Structure 1
């Protein structure tokens, strides 16, 4: 019902804007016909009608964008509500079972493991929402630490495999021998890399088969690319997936969980560090590659020390 109302609102605003622009054009042409021999009305009238038409077009675009933004906000709230409610409900159910029934020690340990996993999922959702608000407010000049990207990516791969119970061969890591240091915030960079890997897991319904490459591009850039064989992304959505709250519509049929903040955080963190993030895909069903590009810490390729 709400989606239908939003679509009706978009159609209404676009139709209204088109009608008002048409009326403005008719009035403008009429003004020119009536006053074409008089210089002063022409000088004043033509710019006025052009500004009026431009204002109507911009106002229509703004209204349509607001409707779309509200749609994304609703989708985000629904996703966050689900991400918070599901583990809480699960934890409560297992606690009630532990309270009311006599269970063996093995069953108790199994319940504890499930509740711990649910609490970690709950914490990850809360941290992601908080990080999304925090990352846009941090000044770049506060980012000072020296980060070894090879070690950080290796750690993130191990964390992802452990968190999602993946086999070691599910992620192949390829990295060169060159110095791969950047200057940045280790926690933020870890968040970006884990979000990329988490996305690969989330959208590989038939099992993850990913290749993680970390390499130099020229002498100035370090590029991390994560390629999976998952459901892919249509070309029209490749740029939009980095927007806050945006989720590719057709992915919902897979009942994937998420808040629409993961790739937004990836690009925000990359740009805070002077880099960028992009996505590539041959189309739906053909896998996806996410690239994270960061400026190399050139001081790390330092002059050899002299005794």
Structure 2
């Protein structure tokens, strides 16, 4: 129920109760006044009758002659002024002498009513009640005294219905007037309560709107009273709250944007160990499913997959850093910074993906170890031969062999260092690509023709399938030529005599050109096909060193191909052997490509 309705109903009920109370008071007052007047009139009538009847009743008590009774009856007729009143004249013994109106059945009977006895004893008495034939009536018994003695009594029974009819007319008039006044009062009360409740309801609407986030509603100001001042203060409060919430919302959006776009994962944990914030990066790093809202309010250990006591001891109790391995194989560095808050201590947890750092560190360690190992072998050989030459010079023909070995190992170290420097320049982008449109068919054919004598000498068939492949690429001729040199050199080294190497050039899906170098050699195990492009990785270390390989050729090839926007992979060949597949983005034919560059950079021997 609305406030103004409650006020109006309350005031209306108060007015109704007030008018009812006033009506009851008026009724009692009017009734009392009329009853008093009626009783006085009845008493006066009784006293008048008793005075005039005294001599007749005194004689009638002794003689009881009919003429005396007739005189009494005449007195009653002449003096009784109350219309409809019943009168009985009693003798001293209480016997009814005369009744008016005539009641022959009652005359001669003794009246034993208490009021009659009281009057015969000299004490007037009265009583109000319901009288048959009269309705509401008043009975009055007045003693008749003569010469100082009570000689009888007169009983009057007068109907009060007429009096109550007058009272009813007065009350009906009052009720009509009161109803009109009550209606006007209720109307005025409604207007007053409406005027009082309207600003309060407006304040309520604004408060509800503010609760829903709408701070644009304003309360009308009615005057300068307390409600007016309250409305003005409420409007000012709404403006300030809006400004504060707008500022808070801007700050929240800014922080949310920062958290969303941070490269680190961030979690906020309350004093109960439950997540209060988590950004998308943290969800990805921890391998969680669902949105951030799904994880808000859940225990932080659920996100980490840790036992509660472990999370409590390591994450939230003190600052610290530890590494966490996710089920997806990531390594995450977790840094915890406890934050004091009311009632306990929460924490801000920062997650950094160090998977690549760990891999890089491992690769660097492996690289250093591999380089050390690769350099140690030729250096050991050189040192042993030099020491042999210095300690006990052998015959000249043996010295020549020793010096040839030293020269060969020195060349091997020079090639190794050169490949390392070239690979470092590629990875550091210190070796810029001189991109020009070039014909891949001419590039492949030139490399194959360069290696054909070496393959013929090794007893290996070399086939080229590039007829009609008018494919072009935007690239560095020398760099791509070096890739083919490395791949063909490996095919030559690891294909036995009587084998075959096939070089194929053709289009591929996605607007690419594909170069395949397939051999019938010893092949590469499936588990090693991804790793052959790593530095110093050898499937057969002894055989690779025997061929003078540094273990960097395919690593260099991968760096060059990837810098051209392409891919290179190793595949198994049905029936044995290996296929090296190179894919490069193809471009439209745009003139003749230059052929300047190394002619036989990977020429064996």
Q: Taking structure 1 as the reference length, what is the TM-score of the superposition?
A: 0.62
1: distance between equivalents of 2:495 and 2:305? 49
Structure 1 contact 246–261 (Cα < 8 Å) conserved: yes
Which residues in structure 2 correspond to 1:283-294 (within 5 Å)? 286-294=576-584
2: distance between equivalents of 1:82 and 1:237? 24
- The answer for the alignment partner of 2:474 in structure 1 is 183
Instruction: Tell me the SS of whatever aligns to 2:568.
Output: strand
- The answer for the alignment partner of 1:74 in structure 2 is 369
1:19-49 C-alpha deviation (Å, 9 max, x unpaired): xx999864215699x9xxxx9789935x64x
Higher helix share: 1
How far off its partner does 1:159 sit? 2.9
Could you say which structure has the larger radius of gyration? 2
- The answer for the alignment partner of 1:147 in structure 2 is 438
How far off its partner does 1:291 sit? 0.8
2: distance between equivalents of 1:77 and 1:224? 35
Is residue 2:543 matched to residue 1:254? yes
2: distance between equivalents of 1:204 and 1:155? 21
2: distance between equivalents of 1:286 and 1:168? 18
Instruction: Tell me the SS of whatever aligns to 1:44.
Output: strand
2: distance between equivalents of 1:282 and 1:170? 17
Instruction: Tell me the SS of whatever aligns to 1:236.
Output: helix
Structure 2 contact 458–497 (Cα < 8 Å) conserved: no
Count of paired positions? 258
Is residue 2:346 matched to residue 1:44? yes
Correspondent of 1:27 among 310, 314, 320: 310
RMSD of the alignment, in Å?
A: 4.9
Which residues in structure 2 correspond to 1:150-161 (within 5 Å)? 150-161=441-452
Q: Taking structure 2 as the reference length, what is the TM-score of the superposition?
A: 0.35
Is residue 2:592 matched to residue 1:297? no
1: distance between equivalents of 2:370 and 2:346? 47
- Kindly tell me: are residues 61 and 182 of structure 1, through their superposed partners in 2, closer, same or farther at Cα, counting changes over 3 Å? closer
- Kindly tell me: are residues 296 and 207 of structure 1, through their superposed partners in 2, closer, same or farther at Cα, counting changes over 3 Å? same
Q: Which has the higher contact order (CA 8 A, sep 6+)?
A: 1
- The answer for the alignment partner of 1:271 in structure 2 is 562
Structure 1 contact 88–118 (Cα < 8 Å) conserved: no
How far off its partner does 1:293 sit? 0.9
Is residue 2:429 matched to residue 1:134? no
- Kindly tell me: are residues 155 and 299 of structure 1, through their superposed partners in 2, closer, same or farther at Cα, counting changes over 3 Å? closer
Which residues in structure 2 correspond to 1:202-241 (within 5 Å)? 202-205=493-496, 208-218=499-509, 220-241=511-532
| Structure 2 unaligned regions, length at least 5 | 1-303, 318-340, 389-394, 593-605
Structure 1 contact 210–227 (Cα < 8 Å) conserved: yes
2: distance between equivalents of 1:174 and 1:162? 18
Instruction: Tell me the SS of whatever aligns to 1:292.
Output: strand
Structure 1 contact 148–181 (Cα < 8 Å) conserved: yes
1:143-184 C-alpha deviation (Å, 9 max, x unpaired): 322322222222222333445663575221111313222221
- The answer for the alignment partner of 2:233 in structure 1 is none
Structure 1 contact 179–301 (Cα < 8 Å) conserved: no
1:95-151 C-alpha deviation (Å, 9 max, x unpaired): xxxx946xxxxxx9xxxx999999986765454333212223447974322322222
| Structure 1 unaligned regions, length at least 5 | 1-20, 94-98, 102-107, 303-307
Structure 1 contact 240–246 (Cα < 8 Å) conserved: no
Higher strand share: 2
- Kindly tell me: are residues 162 and 74 of structure 1, through their superposed partners in 2, closer, same or farther at Cα, counting changes over 3 Å? farther
Structure 1 contact 180–296 (Cα < 8 Å) conserved: yes
How far off its partner does 1:289 sit? 0.9
Structure 1 contact 200–208 (Cα < 8 Å) conserved: no
How far off its partner does 1:188 sit? 0.6
